[in-house]
Amino acid sequence: MRECLIRGVEEPDLPEVVRVEFWSFPYPFENEVLALLYIAWRRYFFVAECLGHVVGYVAGRPEGAWGHVVSIAVMPRWRGRGLGRALMYAVESAFRSSGMIGSYLEVAVWNRSAISLYKKIGYLIGGVLRDYYPDGSDAYVMFKRLG
Three-class secondary structure of residue 65 per DSSP? coil
Residue 57 belongs to some domain of the structure: yes
Say if 69 falls within a structural domain.
yes
Burial letters 71-101, b for 16+ CB under 10 A, else e: bbbbbeebbebebbebbbebbbebbeeeebe
CB atoms within 10 A of CB 33: 15
According to the model, what pLDDT value does residue 2 have? 76
Question: Is the four-CA dihedral 79, 18, 91, 46 of positive or negative sign?
Answer: positive
pTM for the full predicted model: 0.96
| Domain boundaries, position 14 | 4-107
CATH number for 28? 3.40.630.30
Q: What is the DSSP string of 103-143?
A: EEEEEETT-HHHHHHHHHTT-EEEEEETT-STTS--EEEEE
Q: What parts of the chain have a pLDDT lower than 70? A: 1
Residue 144 is assigned to a structural domain of this protein: no
pLDDT at position 1 is: 63
What's the confidence (pLDDT) of residue 118? Answer: 98
Sequence letter at residue 30: E
CA distance 128 to 109: 8
Q: How far apart are CA 142 and CA 60, in angstroms?
A: 14
* Triad 20, 23, 25: Cα angle to 5°: 100
Bridge partners of residue 104, in order along the sequence: 68, 143
Domain tally, the chain? 1
What pLDDT, on a 0 to 100 scale, did the predictor assign at position 3? 87
- Is residue 64 one of the residues assigned to a domain? yes
Query: In this structure, is residue 145 part of a structural domain?
Result: no
